[in-house]
A and B are shown apart, each in its own frame.
Chain A
């Protein structure tokens, strides 16, 4: 607001019309100033042209696809509708309304422009039974089943040009006449007649200020627009003069309509965390959750009232001041015949009616948005991204994201309590992706998921410990002549000398050595020494050279200690690694963006998706069986406290020196997830992979309700029943033994009768087949083809 102008300054403007020589001097001065004016002209035109259509990119989460049979509860569906701004209404026939019924919900969707076309609004009915959608119908004179409904995707953030400015662009002809009339009546009654500055307005303002009636600004809308372009706190006369000059220049170049339209889209009307709310179009949604043309008179008055001071008259923060100001504007509206007296009386009695909304900032999912930024640079051409108003459709699933955030928060608090760790010292990160498509469904960058700072899912590179081991075992299993799941490995003390580093003496977590152990057991129990020896036999460099194939670009140091994960990776890099194991050896780059559509609805060209087979399916199938052993009988067996054994989860724990990092990476039939838990200052936590990260993983997955893991058995794999300890092939019909997958031809040839007296017999017959949907006997034509 303007401070009262001290009277002495008035004298500067009130000198009498000067004589001829003085006029000459003034003329010369004006000539001298012409360069300056030219500079101002260029500046203001640049600003005007540049801001005229500066539209942020909108980022959407995945659109929920609904169909009969989908696993979805009524509660989940209502949550989804609320997240996209649906309101309950007893007559759910307007767009974005719904009504609960006995068995389900009746609702009406909005029209929405997807990357592949417009979807019109639909009147629908959905019903639920047993945690699934039991019916999906179009409501009409005759109801008809609908095979598939794509809901509107939730808006999860924006990417803003300039200084985090957000706006919803409106055209002048979309703006209600009442709004423009109120704006002009309140702020600049001579808008349509002045030339950018309004001497009468200034005089009136000065008069009222000086006589102490009211402190009033004399700025025209044009001047306010100029001021808004160059928002600075400074309020000097020079600045005022510059603004006035620029306002005159603007009026020279542009029509009243263009200036008004730009003003309506440009004016600053509030702050939402680090996002600036610009323009009436967005303000209408931000304060009233409705488009401009559905605002009532008192709501228009509230918004126009805010122009005078968006912070002071913020209806959420200062409702009393805002209400007073609104009523002043309503009075002006009546006086200037924008509304009738009757309308005035009704409107004045109404409450402010601002919708409750927690400030969301630029996005409620900052970690995921950061990943989107990275992928924009990776998958799209720089020049395409400069076009404005892009709509970015991403893979984020708010339901999965919510479960990941909740599990991390609640588990870390419980772990701190239970392990007597100081509160709020543990941190963590979670990445969840879809197994077969590589789409990132959730990403949590820390305990405070809303904090848009350090993103541990991407930026924290922590030693991965035993999470590296599957690469070593996969390398071994790719050589079925020498390695099967039951090949004995040596877990006796090891000293390894390598030039360039000190002697390396790996130790097991339990400080014991276990002699001869089967390969699958060494992985299940995460024996370091046996694994190190296996890796050295296969070749340290040979194994490390495989990492780029699996999408790990970082090169670990070429030392044997790297075999036990003595190098850092981020959770998202670990996700990429396990994605390939989960997807049968196909590497699909993890992705966060499905498609980008320009403001006029054209999809942007992206770099093509590049699925690559990087490991043969047979050995990957065996590895999955071994990783299921980790969960069934190894270091992750307490996962059963969260997920039933029938889930057949495959996973691996990771624990680093002095218990600094706690990891768990695992996969189900449809999802791959990685959790890291540790401290930002890298001090020991006292947690193993199983006591820390795995519990977060279990809690999260329990709530997500994943599909069980049942990989299809590749043609070159067969199931053979062997003695669990002896490793000898058992006769057919043996009730005891372990049924394990082997690459055909690699199973032990030597048979033994079902020896019920041996140690083998004490172990109940266990089946270690990753899937349960394959019979083994019948055909081998595929093998004939290839052998």
Chain B
């Protein structure tokens, strides 16, 4: 099993309480017009380094490949790399989150919600990945026209992000 707390000490770890970044895969343009922050849109999580998502180099290589494919618009290929990574670490919540984000970008909103839920089921105490999952759920709900549901999801996301920050600070002090 990977050490779930290792990412807390990754130098690139950052938490922003506003903004439009996402973990790896950008949200569809419809939900977040560039430059405007939607009311109720909650904490967004800065990129998490891949070394924090897994300590298996094969998985990291596949995440790199998925990112390259995704950035050049080859979403199917990105999906197939993520599925390969999931076969190696089927219980890694970060990988399920990546797949949820990909489905979101592909406009498969119901699947994005389910996969984020599946990621949550493996998340244990990892508030940061949960915050990102609720972010995906919120965006998918916006796209599906469920404004109230989206508000609620963004609220969860913000609370979880704060929790993650508090956990991080606490851990940092302990160090």
A interface list, Cβ under 8 A from B: 65, 67-69, 115-117, 147-148, 150, 434-437, 439, 584-586, 594-595, 603, 608-613, 617, 669-670, 712-714, 773-774, 778-779, 781-782, 785
From B60, B86, B121, give the contact of A617 (CB < 8 A).
Answer: B121
Output the residue of B58, B108, B163 with the most chain A CB within 10 A: B58
Q: Chain A: which residue is nearest B134 at the CB level?
A: A785
A contact residues around B114 at 8 Å (CB): 586, 611-613
A contact residues around B62 at 8 Å (CB): 148
Q: How far is the CB of B133 from chain A (nearest CB, A)?
A: 12
Please determine whether A773 and B1 come into contact, CB atoms closer than 8 angstroms.
Answer: yes
Q: Chain A: which residue is nearest B86 at the CB level?
A: A437
Please determine whether B77 and A65 come into contact, CB atoms closer than 8 angstroms.
Answer: no
A contact residues around B115 at 8 Å (CB): 611
Please determine whether A603 and B76 come into contact, CB atoms closer than 8 angstroms.
Answer: yes
Q: How far is the CB of B54 from chain A (nearest CB, A)?
A: 11
B173 contacts the other chain (Cβ, under 8 Å)?
Answer: no
A contact residues around B60 at 8 Å (CB): 147
- In the docked arrangement, what's the CA distance between A618 and B61, Å? 34
From A116, A603, A608, A773, give the contact of B108 (CB < 8 A).
Answer: A608
- In the docked arrangement, what's the CA distance between A782 and B111, Å? 23
B90 contacts the other chain (Cβ, under 8 Å)?
Answer: yes
Q: How far is the CB of A476 from chain B (nearest CB, A)?
A: 21
A contact residues around B81 at 8 Å (CB): 116
Q: A115-B80, A585-B121 are in contact. List 17 more A-B contacts (CB 8 A).
A: A65-B58, A67-B56, A116-B80, A147-B60, A148-B57, A150-B84, A434-B87, A434-B90, A437-B86, A437-B87, A603-B76, A608-B108, A613-B117, A669-B91, A712-B91, A785-B159, A785-B160
B122 contacts the other chain (Cβ, under 8 Å)?
Answer: yes
Please determine whether A712 and B90 come into contact, CB atoms closer than 8 angstroms.
Answer: no
Q: Chain B: which residue is nearest A771 at the CB level?
A: B124
Please determine whether B58 and A147 come into contact, CB atoms closer than 8 angstroms.
Answer: yes
From B1, B58, B76, B111, give the contact of A611 (CB < 8 A).
Answer: B111
- In the docked arrangement, what's the CA distance between A497 and B54, Å? 58
Please determine whether A611 and B118 come into contact, CB atoms closer than 8 angstroms.
Answer: yes
**Nearest 6 Cβ contacts at the A-B interface:** A67-B58, A436-B90, A148-B58, A147-B61, A147-B57, A116-B77
Output the residue of A609, A617, A669, A774 with the most chain B CB within 10 A: A609
- In the docked arrangement, what's the CA distance between A499 and B114, Å? 41
- In the docked arrangement, what's the CA distance between A532 and B10, Å? 55
Please determine whether A594 and B125 come into contact, CB atoms closer than 8 angstroms.
Answer: no
**What is the interface of chain A mostly: helix, strand, loop, or mixed?**
loop
Some 5 contacts from A to B, beta carbons below 8 A apart, are: A65-B88, A147-B58, A437-B86, A437-B90, A585-B121
**What is the interface of chain B mostly: helix, strand, loop, or mixed?**
helix
Please determine whether A608 and B84 come into contact, CB atoms closer than 8 angstroms.
Answer: no
B8 contacts the other chain (Cβ, under 8 Å)?
Answer: no
Please determine whether B111 and A609 come into contact, CB atoms closer than 8 angstroms.
Answer: yes
B136 contacts the other chain (Cβ, under 8 Å)?
Answer: no
B contact residues, range: 35 or more
Q: Chain A: which residue is nearest B69 at the CB level?
A: A116
Within 8 A of A (CB), among B81-116: 81, 83-84, 86-88, 90-91, 108, 111, 114-115
Please determine whether A436 and B123 come into contact, CB atoms closer than 8 angstroms.
Answer: no
- In the docked arrangement, what's the CA distance between A11 and B88, Å? 78
User: Given A611-B115, A712-B123, A785-B156, A67–B83 Cβ distance below 8 Å?
Assistant: no
Q: How far is the CB of A68 from chain B (nearest CB, A)?
A: 7
Within 8 A of A (CB), among B12-66: 56-58, 60-62
Q: How far is the CB of A164 from chain B (nearest CB, A)?
A: 31
A contact residues around B87 at 8 Å (CB): 65, 434, 437, 439
Q: How far is the CB of B155 from chain A (nearest CB, A)?
A: 8
Q: Chain B: which residue is nearest A779 at the CB level?
A: B125
- In the docked arrangement, what's the CA distance between A613 and B137, Å? 14
Please determine whether B124 and A712 come into contact, CB atoms closer than 8 angstroms.
Answer: yes
Q: How far is the CB of A161 from chain B (nearest CB, A)?
A: 27
A contact residues around B88 at 8 Å (CB): 65, 67
- Number of A-B pairs, beta carbon distance below 8 Å: 83
Q: How far is the CB of B59 from chain A (nearest CB, A)?
A: 8
Please determine whether B58 and A712 come into contact, CB atoms closer than 8 angstroms.
Answer: no
Please determine whether B121 and A586 come into contact, CB atoms closer than 8 angstroms.
Answer: yes
B contact residues around A67 at 8 Å (CB): 56-58, 88
A contact residues around B117 at 8 Å (CB): 586, 613
Please determine whether A595 and B58 come into contact, CB atoms closer than 8 angstroms.
Answer: no
- In the docked arrangement, what's the CA distance between A67 and B60, Å? 12
- In the docked arrangement, what's the CA distance between A30 and B124, Å? 87
From B57, B86, B124, give the contact of A436 (CB < 8 A).
Answer: B86
- In the docked arrangement, what's the CA distance between A395 and B58, Å? 20
Q: Chain B: which residue is nearest A115 at the CB level?
A: B80
A contact residues around B76 at 8 Å (CB): 116, 603
Q: How far is the CB of A769 from chain B (nearest CB, A)?
A: 14
B contact residues around A594 at 8 Å (CB): 80, 83
From B1, B69, B118, give the contact of A586 (CB < 8 A).
Answer: B118
Please determine whether B123 and A670 come into contact, CB atoms closer than 8 angstroms.
Answer: no
Please determine whether A712 and B122 come into contact, CB atoms closer than 8 angstroms.
Answer: yes
Q: How far is the CB of B152 from chain A (nearest CB, A)?
A: 10
Within 8 A of A (CB), among B148-175: 156, 159-160, 163
A contact residues around B69 at 8 Å (CB): 116
Please determine whether B84 and A437 come into contact, CB atoms closer than 8 angstroms.
Answer: no
Q: How far is the CB of A591 from chain B (nearest CB, A)?
A: 11
Q: How far is the CB of A784 from chain B (nearest CB, A)?
A: 9
Q: Chain A: which residue is nearest B122 at the CB level?
A: A712
- In the docked arrangement, what's the CA distance between A785 and B62, Å? 35
Q: How far is the CB of B162 from chain A (nearest CB, A)?
A: 9
Please determine whether A774 and B124 come into contact, CB atoms closer than 8 angstroms.
Answer: yes
Please determine whether A437 and B159 come into contact, CB atoms closer than 8 angstroms.
Answer: no
Q: Chain A: which residue is nearest B155 at the CB level?
A: A785
A contact residues around B58 at 8 Å (CB): 65, 67-68, 147-148
Please determine whether B163 and A781 come into contact, CB atoms closer than 8 angstroms.
Answer: yes
B contact residues around A115 at 8 Å (CB): 80
- In the docked arrangement, what's the CA distance between A774 and B156, Å? 22
Q: Chain A: which residue is nearest B117 at the CB level?
A: A613
Q: How far is the CB of A551 from chain B (nearest CB, A)?
A: 15
A contact residues around B91 at 8 Å (CB): 436, 669, 712
A contact residues around B108 at 8 Å (CB): 608
Q: How far is the CB of B53 from chain A (nearest CB, A)?
A: 14
A contact residues around B83 at 8 Å (CB): 437, 594
Q: How far is the CB of A538 from chain B (nearest CB, A)?
A: 25
Q: How far is the CB of B81 from chain A (nearest CB, A)?
A: 7
Q: How far is the CB of A143 from chain B (nearest CB, A)?
A: 16
Please determine whether B111 and A65 come into contact, CB atoms closer than 8 angstroms.
Answer: no
Please determine whether B57 and A608 come into contact, CB atoms closer than 8 angstroms.
Answer: no
Output the residue of B69, B90, B160 with the most chain A CB within 10 A: B90
